[in-house]
Structure 1
Amino acid sequence: MSDEAKKTAKSGRSAAGKPARAASPGKTGAKSSAGARTSVRAPARLDVLKTYKLFIGGKFPRSESGRVYEVTDSEGDWLANAPQSSRKDARDAVAAARKAFGGWSGATAYNRGQILYRVAEMLEGRREQFASEVAAAEGLSTAAATAQVDAAIDRWVWYAGWSDKIAQVAGGANPVAGPFFNLSTPEPTGVVAVLAPQESSLLGLASVLAPVIVTGNTAVLVPSEKAPLPALSLSEVLATSDVPGGVVNVLSGRTREVATTLAAHQDVNALDLAGAAGDAELAKELETTAAENLKRVLRPEGDGPADWSTDPGTSRLLAFLETKTVWHPIGV
């Protein structure tokens, strides 16, 4: 070997003047002695599965009983384990709704409308998530599910707009004989137990929940038994919006079990049976139980699933309002 070659070898450089590199057998892209490039496969990630919880008093507790039940998609494939509410969970939800009622019913109608509009804003930002959940729950295409989500968002906006206008429909000045003003004004009924539709996991839910709370009531919501995931995700939106804790409480589980407890609860003022449509026996049983403390009951419309895409009108806004009439002498 010449003296020049020896100097090159000692300095660790090739004859071309480039640094000499040793092949690393454990490194991705290293070459073997045969010249073939080898690669190291990255380990597969484990799915981070979502843990769904109840929504009571603005918090996310697990079911008091620790029970869950399997939620599957339209093909019968597993989607998640949803919490199965107990009677204790129902009682806690009613207590939270009653505690929140004073502040919520005392807020101005304009403020309640702003808060509902904020919910719509946040739903708009999570359209893809809700479209995916609705598609899996109802067996819809992506386009059809997205249309359902858009309609649900529009429904929130629609009811938000009615917040400070419904009093003009339900109230007014009454003609009386005598020197008096006679004024009728609507007031919220109180705590309303809402059975959400079984077949429409988000649009139907929005159509029954929004009119209850925009008029100043607080709600204990029982979502669709077979498709509760959109409702449980909605509770995350409500928790991070301006809706005060306890105004909406979400109890997933067996509809009959939870609804029976709510219908018998003496501190529940009204009951919406939309989720009992198609089950005349359950609807009759709940209505009979609700009569024990004279709850106001909104019966399901028809024997089958309702078409929630139609114009909702004002019937559900008026369903859970009481009329207060005040007499005032003229000139005083």
Structure 2
Amino acid sequence: MSDRVTVSKTYKLFVGGAFPRSESGRTYPVSDSRGRFLANAAQASRKDLREAVVAARGAFGKWSGATAYNRGQVLYRVAELLEGRREQFAAEVAAGEGAPSRRAQSIVDAAIDRWVWYAGWTDKLATVLGAANPVAGPYFSFSVPEPTGVVGVLAPPDSSLLGLVSVLAPVLAVGATAVVVASEDRPLPAITLAEVLATSDVPGGVVNLLTGHTAELAPWLAAHADVNALDLAGAPVEQRAELERAAAGTVTRVLRVGRGEPDWTTGPDIGRLRALVETKTVWHPMGV
């Protein structure tokens, strides 16, 4: 029997709930931690990014308008599907990050647990971040958290699954939509997560995932006038100041990276939820 011909995978982008090729037709090779070829990934262009932002904006009304309870159920369903593909995620994390099998499995378990944690926050945000304000006069005054809109996410380059979940799950939990630039060198867990989202109850366009060169895509994402917030978690260190300046030009909220690189294993943070909402205060006269 002759040896089989190796059929290499070429993964696509995830935009608007579908899996299109990059309009440029470009791809780039993805290798494991030892430099061995794994697959080809689509290399997104500026046009792909614009289409992803359009898709995210189009999905924002439905997703932000859903009840908090419904969003929580949808996100919990994603966690169930993640659990069902646990072995695949572990293999991809082990290959990309060079982690031993047991370590890779613990990373996947932490990512699933973190997704569940943020799913549980969806119907608690209004209580924790909102308030009934004391006022002098015959009025009621309420402060209510609302999602900021379309969030551009530069995924952490070294934590291809746990870091990605840590920055993406809070975006969805507050009711915002996302355009994600996956880890350039380790995109496979992000691509598999996109496949999970496509088969879950998350509406198309709520999450749009691009693969390619982060340094090429980040400036266009930062300067896009229809992006309301930008998470710099995976931005190259030498590019962060430039990206903040570009975001300032369109009054885009920026989630900065603290000193040193984040440790994504330390646990979830409600601060990310707080950073992705805007507070609307409503006054209403009594007796009306």
Q: Is this contact kept in 1: 2:42–2:211, CA < 8 A?
A: yes
1:309 is paired with a residue whose SS is helix
Matched residues in 2 for 1:120 and 1:218: separation? 18
1:58-77 equivalences under 5 Å are 58-77=17-36
- The answer as to 2:105 corresponding to 1:146 is yes
1:88-127 equivalences under 5 Å are 88-127=47-86
- The answer as to 2:129 corresponding to 1:163 is no
Instruction: Give the TM-score of the pair, scaled to structure 2.
Output: 0.98
- The answer as to 2:248 corresponding to 1:291 is yes
Matched residues in 2 for 1:196 and 1:139: separation? 18
TM-fit CA distance, 1:194: 0.4
Matched residues in 1 for 2:86 and 2:237: separation? 35
Q: Is this contact kept in 1: 2:71–2:122, CA < 8 A?
A: yes
Aligned partner letter, 1:240:
T
Matched residues in 2 for 1:311 and 1:146: separation? 16
TM-fit CA distance, 1:280: 3.2
Aligned partner letter, 1:149:
V
Structure 1: unaligned runs, 5 residues or longer? 1-41
TM-fit CA distance, 1:221: 0.4
Q: 1:328 aligns with which of 260, 284, 288?
A: 284
Matched residues in 1 for 2:138 and 2:6: separation? 73
Aligned partner letter, 2:51:
D
TM-fit CA distance, 1:317: 0.7
Aligned to 2:213: 254
Q: Is this contact kept in 2: 1:56–1:96, CA < 8 A?
A: yes
**Sequence identity (%):** 68
2:259 is paired with a residue whose SS is coil
Matched residues in 2 for 1:140 and 1:245: separation? 33
- The answer as to 2:269 corresponding to 1:313 is yes
Aligned partner letter, 2:135:
V
TM-fit CA distance, 1:330: 1.7
Aligned partner letter, 1:243:
V
1:232-243 equivalences under 5 Å are 232-243=191-202
Structure 2: unaligned runs, 5 residues or longer? none
TM-fit CA distance, 1:49: 3.1
| Highest RCO, 1 vs 2 (Cα 8 Å, sep ≥ 6) | 2
TM-fit CA distance, 1:71: 1.1
- The answer as to 2:172 corresponding to 1:172 is no
2:193 is paired with a residue whose SS is helix
TM-fit CA distance, 1:320: 1.0
Q: Is this contact kept in 2: 1:264–1:289, CA < 8 A?
A: yes
1:312 is paired with a residue whose SS is coil
| Cα deviations by residue, 1:112-139 (Å, 9 ceiling, x for unpaired) | 1101100000010001111000000100
TM-fit CA distance, 1:159: 0.4
- The answer as to 2:37 corresponding to 1:78 is yes
1:158 is paired with a residue whose SS is helix
TM-fit CA distance, 1:43: 3.9
Aligned to 1:280: 237
Aligned partner letter, 2:117:
W
1:253 is paired with a residue whose SS is coil
Aligned to 2:5: 46
1:181 is paired with a residue whose SS is strand
TM-fit CA distance, 1:271: 0.2
| Cα deviations by residue, 1:133-190 (Å, 9 ceiling, x for unpaired) | 0000100011110111111011110000000001111101011111111000000010
Q: Is this contact kept in 1: 2:8–2:40, CA < 8 A?
A: no
TM-fit CA distance, 1:241: 0.3
Equivalenced residues, count = 288
